[in-house]
Structures are given as structure tokens and as C-alpha cells.
Amino acid sequence: MNHGATCYLNSVLQVLFMTEDFREAVNRNSNTKFIDHHLKDLFDRLKKETSDTSKILKVLDINTVNQQQDAAEYCQKILKLTSPEAAKIFHAELTNRRFCSSCETETDTDESFWILPLSLVDSSNEVYSVEDGIKEFFKESYFTGEDQMYCEHCDTKVDARTKYVVKHHPEVLILLLKRFDFSYRYMKYVKINDRVDVATTLKIPENQTYELYAVVDHVGDLRSGHYTSRIRSQVDERWYEFNDTWVTQVRHQNLCFFSQMII
């Protein structure tokens, strides 16, 4: 059921429902400190019929149901309120490695994430691909001139380079294709409508392969858009479309869910 414009939430909940390991994990957890029991109730009902999401809306503190929210933002919100045992399926760790060009000291800072944000680079000539986004994310960045970084050992600003290294690969990798971006040209948030190729198998450093099993799509523009989802069932391996109303417009991928492949 769509309470006003809560399709962003429905799409995310449908993907979480279809993620078997997650569904089983929330079933096991009865600690009412977390929202697992609300999700369990909802998932139990979803198995039988279309369900009301008002309880979940309440725990997520969503009152302004007519305001379009970002699916990624609410996906993170749900995982934050879920027990660590259930949420760990999506949990990943990155190391931000900084290298000082003067004293050659390496400094590591660890960061946790549930959703990896990929910027859509200008693709006026070619079609943007998720693989390019991954390459861009994991490439080395250089900081020189005005962008120099402070080094504790040198006690001054120095030339530096940084890169991300995966410390812990998540069981399920969620990628956010950043279609909503701030445009300095128009001084407002715009939606990037370029075509993006999403590969069904994806490799991220170092050599971990993932397989696409769900996509949350966005149709329309920033203010009046609509979210839907496409999910491959883990039971019969077929793709299904989940949509709270029928939409025939062109779809744009927003969130992509990849499960780890053991090769």
C-alpha cells in the first residue's frame, strides 16, 4: 500500500524482504530495542498479501508522507535501526589510505558503509557504466598545490595521494548511482538522466565478484518521481517487478544490490 508518496520506502522494503539471509536474520532476533520485530511482522504479512507499512513509517519517524524521500537515505535509516546481526549482511569496511610524498608515511583511516555512492561522471559521448564508477571510486587521488594535505609527521602541508582499499567485503553490496546531484551551473539539485549500464556480475578490489539481484529504479524528475524495484527471486531465479502503481515510463537505476559470489 502506498501511503501518499512512500514508494521509495516500499521499494527498499521489497528488496530487503526478498533478501533471504536478511529475512531469516530478522526472524531470529526478538530484541525489541531494534526494528527487527516490525520487519518480521511486515515480511510475514507480505508472504500472504499486500501489506500496510504504517508501523514501519511510524518507527522511521516518517510523518510527511507526501514528500518524496531518497530511497538510499531510508535504506540506511532502516539498517541503522536493525539489529547488528541482521544488518551485518550489508556491512562493509573501507580503509582510506593516505601517503605523504615527503616523509613517505602511510596513514590508514577506516570507514564503515552500507551503501557505496558512485558519482555519475560526464558521459556526453558514451554510456556510463557501473564498472567505470567503481574504477573511479578506487583510483588514486593526488593532492598538490592548493589541495595539499596536512601531515602529522612533517607538521606541515605536503603533497599526498590517497586511495580506498576494501577492508571487509559485504555479503551484499549496495551501490548508489548518484543521479541526484548539485549542479553549480543551475545552482540547484538536478537529476542526471543518462543511461547507465549495470553489469550483472561485478568485480571490486581485490578480486571479489558480485552478482546483481535487485535494482531500485527511479522514474520522473526530482520532485514528482516514483520508485519501483526489480528483484531476482532466490527461489526460482526469475526477475520480478515490484511496483505500487503501474508505471510505463523509462526507468533509471538508483540503488543496485549485488550478492557475493563464491567462485
Residues that bind Zn ion (CB under 5 A): 100, 102-103, 151, 153-154
Residues 205 and 82: their CA atoms lie apart, in Å, by 28
How far apart, in whole angstroms, are the C-alpha atoms of residue 254 and residue 217?
A: 5
Question: Taking the complex as a whole, how short is the minimal distance between the CB of residue 147 and Zn ion, in angstroms?
Answer: 15
Asked if residues 115 and 176 have their Cβ atoms less than 8 Å apart, the reply is yes
Q: Name the amino acid, one letter, at 250.
A: V
What's the distance, CA 100 to chain centroid?
A: 31
Q: How far is the CB of 154 from Zn ion (least distance, A)?
A: 4
Is the Cβ of residue 104 or residue 122 nearer to Zn ion in the bound state?
104
Q: In terms of CB distance, is 153 or 195 closer to Zn ion?
A: 153
User: Nearest approach, Cβ of 161 to Zn ion (angstroms)?
Assistant: 12
- Residue closer to Zn ion by CB (options 148, 208) is 148
Cα dist. 28→31, 39, 40, 63 in Å? 9, 11, 9, 29
By DSSP bridging, strand 115-119 and strand 172-178 are parallel
CB 160 to Zn ion: min, Å: 8
Q: CB nearer to Zn ion: give 150 or 240.
A: 150
Q: How far is the CB of 219 from Zn ion (least distance, A)?
A: 49
Residue with cell 535494482: 215
Secondary structure class of 211 (helix, strand, coil): strand
For Zn ion, the closer CB: 152 or 221: 152
